[in-house]
Structures are given as C-alpha cells and as structure tokens.
Structure 1
Amino acid sequence: MDRVYQALVAAMAAFAAISFPCLLIVLLCRHRKNRLLEPDNRTLSSSSLPVRVSSELSSSWSLYVSAIDSSLKKLSLDDLARATGDFSPDNIIGDGSFGFVYRAVLPGGSGGAVAVKRLSADHAAGAGNREFRAELEVLGSLSHRHLARLLGYCAAGRDRLLVYELFERGSLDAWLHGDAAGGTPVLSWPARLRVTRGAAAALAFLHHDRHPPVLHRDVKSSNVLLDEGFEAKLADFGHARVVSGGPAASHISTQAAGTAGYMAPEIREGVGASIKADVYSFGVLMIEVVSGRRPSWPMKSIEGKEVEPLKWAREKVEADISLEIVDCRMVIGEEKETKEVKEFLDIAHRCTEECPKYRPTMKQVVEMLDKI
C-alpha cells in the first residue's frame, strides 16, 4: 500500500511540475496581449491641446496612428466642440460628401481661425473613416505651397474630425459661380490663369514628385481653395489613393469616385483609374475656369442639340471658335489675353481626350501653362 501511495504522490508531483510552468506562460501571454490592445495615451497626447482618448479606438487605428506626421496636433473632441460653438450651424462654411466644415478658433493658440471638417457619424465606421484615413495618409505626410495644410485631427469614439488652415476667400467654385451682383467680384483672366497654374502644380507634385504617387480622384472647383493672394490650394483628399505601381502603372484597382461632370470616361465605364483620370478632371476644370459654367449644365451644340458642356466646349475648340465659350462677365480686351485664352483651351482640349494615353501628364500640363 505504501508503494501505491508513494507512486501516486510522485505522479501528482510530476504533473504539478509540468503544468505550473505552462499555466504561468499562458497567464503572461494573456497579460501581454491585453496591454497591446490598450490605447497608448502617450502617443495621443499634446502639450498645448489635451486629448481625450476613447476606449472605442480599434487596435488597427492604434497601429495607424504611428504612421502620422508627429507635427500634427492631436485634438480633443471637447476642444473642437468649444471652438465651433458646439458645432453650431451658424459656423458652417461648407459641406462635403461625408459631413460639414466649420469655422473655428482653437483654444490656447494664437487666435487664428481654422477650418474643422467633422465627418458624419453615420459614415464614421465605413466610407467616412476611409476618407479620414486617406486625408491623414496624404496631407499628414506632405507639404507643398499649393496643397491645403492639415493642422490636426481628432479620433474619439465614432467621431472623426480634421483641422485645416482656413482660407477666407473660399473656393474657386464660389468665385466662378457666385452672384457678382450680390457682392462676389468677377475673377479677372490673370487671376484665373494664376489659380489654374497653382492647382496644376499641386497635381504634378502628387503625381511625379511624391513616391509612391497619389491619385486625387476628385479634382473640381470646390476643392480648389484660394488664399489672400489668390494662390490655389488643392484640398479634400478623402477619395485620394496611393498608386503603388508608380506613375507608369496603367491602372489601380479601386471603386468609382469623383463628381459628375468631372469624371473621366474610363471611371464611368468601370475601368480602374489612373493618374490620367486626374488629368481629365483637371481639363474639365480648365474649361470651367474659362467659361464660368458648371460641367453639369447642358448646352446647345453647333448643330443645336443639347449636349454636355465638355462636348460643347471641345466642339468650339475644334472649330477654332473657342472664344465663344469665354465667360461673358470676364473682359478679354488685349490681344495678348486673347492668345492666352486660346492656348489655355487647347491644353484643356488635350487633357480631356477620351483615350487616356492621348492625354498629357500633369508635369507636361504645368510646362505648357508656364509658357502661356
């Protein structure tokens, strides 16, 4: 009996010797996993503007934060609510596909105004969150004199907000289509040419000087902002995508994005987009700059049929009567300016070719515009 007892004790001792270290390893692993999943308050802190870190931030977002430019301010929802008057409708200065833009003055700063884009909570977990990340990825790591500057961001629970420098002159869209009789002056031809050159320089930078290149995918007049000197600032990178194959990549696989009237034919047909799709949209923008007409407005063709504005404009250029599309509010008096407008529309015509391979690159567009 003693031998049986001794054998039982020995077996239990052996089991304990084996199981205890295994249990200890399991507990250590679980503890380490829990620590990794906790948001790191230190990475989301700001010396001048405090941040409230939400427990709802996912682990994937925590990993993404590490790639954001450290110069961006990480702002709290409370600070942004105070800065916008609790997101008062009186402070709304614009709206986009995923939310409103507010005028705000941040606490503890120099007192200068900023623009705060708050993505709709309905889109926070889906397309809105993709827009938020796209803007951070592009504007959070780039700097160019013709790109709108991203100053900070907030991610708290389902709220996603982006803070930009504010341009009091507003968008090119407002200047082209505003009511001149109601107080919006008509942009002169030199101002329109300068704005177009600036927007072209921004796109050329994204396509050719940024590695890997960036496809904007929503070039339009409302996404071109104007500073005090009427210099263009390309904005709204919510639809932007990185072209991993470089500028020579034929297409990138992505869902359709853009605005009706500006969208390249290959996008409408469901073919993958390329940087040449941005070139097409920019060509449409150039025609809008000269004509003062929205790309969605129907027009009468030379034969008297109702056609899209782009087709109407291209017909005029091809018939060598391009000056007929010039904004009637804009005075083109000098022979020099008349020549410039014609050359400008010739470039727009090249940019809006149906087949992408016949369109110039944005680098070539910049070179052509600089020669005008």
Structure 2
Amino acid sequence: MVKESNIKLNNHQYSYREVVAITNNFKTIIGEGGFGKVYLGILTDETQVAVKLLSSSSKQGNKEFRAEAQLLMIVHHKNLVSLVGYCDEGENKALIYEYMANGDLRHHLSVTNTNVLNWKERLQIAVDAAHGLEYLHNGCKPPIIHRDLKTPNILLNENMQAKIADFGLSRAFSTENDSHVSTDHPAGTRGYLAPEFQASGNVNRKSDVYSFGIVLFELITGRPAIIIEPKEHIHIVDWVYPIIESGDIQNIIDPKLQGEFHTNSAWKAVEIAMSCVPTAAIQRPDMSEVLAELKECLALEMSNGRSESRVTGGNMTTSSNPLIMTSLELQSDIAALAR
C-alpha cells in the first residue's frame, strides 16, 4: 500500500513509477547536493525538467524536502526556480523543477569554464538574483529568509536569466524583528555565513544580504568565497579589502574579462558588495536598496557603452563624462570603508 502524502500541494503529484519513466530510470545526473542527486527528466509533452531525488542518507532530508516543496507552492517569481511537481511515496521522495539549461553560476565563474561571462552579463545576473531575494524578503508575508544563498544555488536558464534555487533551508519568520535562533543543524555554507550566525546562530533578512554580498564579490572577482592558497584559505572579503584600499580596479575585477569593463560601473558594483558585508547586520542595506543600486549600476554600464571611458593599466582614462568623475569619488569612499 502506498503511504499517503502529507504534503498538500496544488502542483501535480507524480507516482514513483512516473518519476522513473520521466528520468529514463535515472539515466542522466545533472547535479548533486546535500538533499540528493538531480536527474534530467522529460515529461510526456517533451518538456525538460530537473528531478531532485531525496537520498536515503540525506541528513534531515524529510524535513528539508517538505520545507522546500511547501514553500515553492506559495512563492512565485520569475527569478525563483519554479516547482513543476513532486513525488511523496513512503521512502521515495522527489521534487520536479523547471529545467535550467545553463546550470549554476559557480560553474560559469570557475577557472575551468571557457565561456567567460562578460561584465554586462554579470551585472544582469546580479540584478536577477537581487530581484528574487528582494521578493522573498519584502514580497512575501511573512518574509522568507533563504539561509543558503550561494553561487551554486543561482541557476541560469537558456536565456542566461538567473533564478534562485534550493529552498530546503529557507524559513518564514513572523516575529517582530524577523529573526530566528537556529537550534537545528547549521544552515548555510562556509564562506557565505553572516558573522552573526557564526557567533550566535541568529539569522534574519540581513544574513541573506551578507550572503548576497559574497555572491556579488564572486561575480566581480571571479574568485570563490573561500580562496585556497598554497599555505592558507582566505575569505574573499579579506582578500579584496587591501586591494580596494590600493585603488586599483584592475586587480579586483576578474582577470578573465581582460579589462573589458567600464571603471565607473565596476567601482559602483564593488561599493554595493562592500555595503552588504559589514560585520554588524544593522549596517547592511535592505535588499530593496541593493536591487535599486544594482539597477543603476547596470544602467551605468549600458550608457558607458556609448562613452569614451576605458581601463588602461589599472588606471582610468577619462573624457568629459561626468559619470566618470563620480566613479573616482566612489573609489575614494570605498577605500575609506576598507580602512
């Protein structure tokens, strides 16, 4: 007898037999996480999907499975990966999502990826992800805190549109200050965890803002959250601070871009990332402010496509464009923040 599902969803419920058929007997693995393996699937109407199968060895897997399934039923946004359906038959549990053809952001930023994201694409991805997170924080009542925002959890579709995924650790909070002290296993991933969580287990919307700042620094520098050096592991914030202080944007921006970016939008992106990562949560902006600033940053880059500014040898060559003078002021402000 099949155990009845205790998840009440409006989405299509699939039997385990259907899941086996959709994945062609779990033929093609396209990803893997703490929850379990992710397989490529094809529905009867030829739609491609991603099928996340709960591993029997997954820690707290049942809890995260239900959290993710129930949350994705009530949240809908163009920058959140959408749930197509689910399977909940006893020990056999699976979540079926829209297929994101271009995989995760971490892969696109890795040194092994030959298709380098250009500067404009990176800014657009940042805007997309900010839209998704801002919706969770301010468009949902009560607000939803993702708790595990990182580049592997930002997926890209066939049009390179970014969507936030992996909501297994997310929480909806309706307390006065929208915060929560975690008493279960640690949420999040090393390198992305906000200082207040590491110190006390306390999480709130500003904890996600910190994680977003780390993601933004990864987009800017091309480096991972934890940089592995021969003798030590360096957090990306500790790596970038002294370079910001030196004022040389060329040494901050991903070298794979080969200088193909505009200095003023680059400094503004760095400034936004910096604003997200102060140790004190109260000093970080709301995601609505971060989103607005990133939109301005992207607009600046678009307008500079028609300007004469360019980067040469780490220093900026300027025309009479007043926006460029603004970037010099940003550089000074950021250096002051880093001290």
Q: Which category describes the TM-score, using the shorter chain as reference length?
A: 0.7 to 0.9
**Distance of aligned partners of 1:251 and 1:319 in 2 relative to their CA distance in 1, 3 Å threshold:** farther
User: Matches of 1:368 and 1:351 in 2, distance apart?
Assistant: 12
Alignment of 1:282-361 (within 5 A): 282-298=212-228, 307-333=234-260, 337-361=262-286
Alignment of 1:227-246 (within 5 A): 227-245=157-175
Shift of 1:227: 1.4
Which of 65, 70, 77 is 1:132 aligned to? Answer: 65
Shift of 1:322: 4.1
Alignment of 1:75-94 (within 5 A): 75-88=14-27, 91-94=28-31
Shift of 1:157: 1.1
Q: Show CA shifts across 1:79-120 (max 9, x none).
A: 1112212223xx0000011200000112xx311110000010
Which of 24, 30, 53 is 1:118 aligned to? Answer: 53
Which of 55, 59, 73 is 2:12 aligned to? Answer: 73
Given residue 366 of structure 1, which amino acid in structure 2 is its aligned partner?
Answer: L
Alignment of 1:51-70 (within 5 A): 54-55=2-3, 57=4, 62=6, 65-66=7-8, 68=9, 70=10
Shift of 1:321: 3.0
Q: Specify the structure having the higher radius of gyration (Cα).
A: 1
Shift of 1:319: 3.9
Given residue 54 of structure 1, which amino acid in structure 2 is its aligned partner?
Answer: V
User: Matches of 1:114 and 1:333 in 2, distance apart?
Assistant: 35
Which of 182, 192, 211 is 1:262 aligned to? Answer: 192
Moved more, 140-149 or 169-178: 169-178
User: Matches of 1:285 and 1:299 in 2, distance apart?
Assistant: 20
If asked which structure has higher relative contact order (CA below 8 Å, sep 6+), I would say: 2
Shift of 1:136: 1.4
TM-score, with length taken from structure 1: 0.75
User: Matches of 2:214 and 2:2 in 1, distance apart?
Assistant: 43
Q: SS of the counterpart of 2:273?
A: helix
CA contact (8 A) 2:173 2:179 kept: no
Report the aligned-residue RMSD: 2.0
CA contact (8 A) 2:83 2:98 kept: yes
Q: Does 1:143 align with 2:72?
A: no
User: Matches of 2:233 and 2:266 in 1, distance apart?
Assistant: 25
**Distance of aligned partners of 1:362 and 1:287 in 2 relative to their CA distance in 1, 3 Å threshold:** same
CA contact (8 A) 2:181 2:200 kept: no
Given residue 79 of structure 2, which amino acid in structure 1 is its aligned partner?
Answer: H
Unaligned runs of 5+ in 1: 1-52
Q: Does 1:104 align with 2:29?
A: no
User: Matches of 2:229 and 2:54 in 1, distance apart?
Assistant: 35
CA contact (8 A) 2:102 2:158 kept: yes
Shift of 1:270: 3.0
User: Matches of 2:229 and 2:275 in 1, distance apart?
Assistant: 21
Given residue 147 of structure 1, which amino acid in structure 2 is its aligned partner?
Answer: L
> Which structure shows the bigger proportion of residues in strand conformation?
2
User: Matches of 1:229 and 1:86 in 2, distance apart?
Assistant: 29
Given residue 249 of structure 1, which amino acid in structure 2 is its aligned partner?
Answer: D
Shift of 1:284: 0.4
Q: SS of the counterpart of 2:147?
A: coil
Q: SS of the counterpart of 2:74?
A: coil
CA contact (8 A) 1:224 1:234 kept: yes
Q: SS of the counterpart of 2:202?
A: coil
Q: SS of the counterpart of 2:189?
A: coil
Q: How many residues align?
A: 296
Partner residue of 1:21?
none
CA contact (8 A) 1:215 1:242 kept: yes
Given residue 168 of structure 2, which amino acid in structure 1 is its aligned partner?
Answer: G
Q: SS of the counterpart of 2:167?
A: coil
**Distance of aligned partners of 1:135 and 1:295 in 2 relative to their CA distance in 1, 3 Å threshold:** same
Q: SS of the counterpart of 2:255?
A: coil
**Distance of aligned partners of 1:97 and 1:82 in 2 relative to their CA distance in 1, 3 Å threshold:** same
CA contact (8 A) 1:299 1:308 kept: no
Q: Show CA shifts across 1:138-194 (max 9, x none).
A: 2111110101010000001112100000011111111111524xxx31000000000
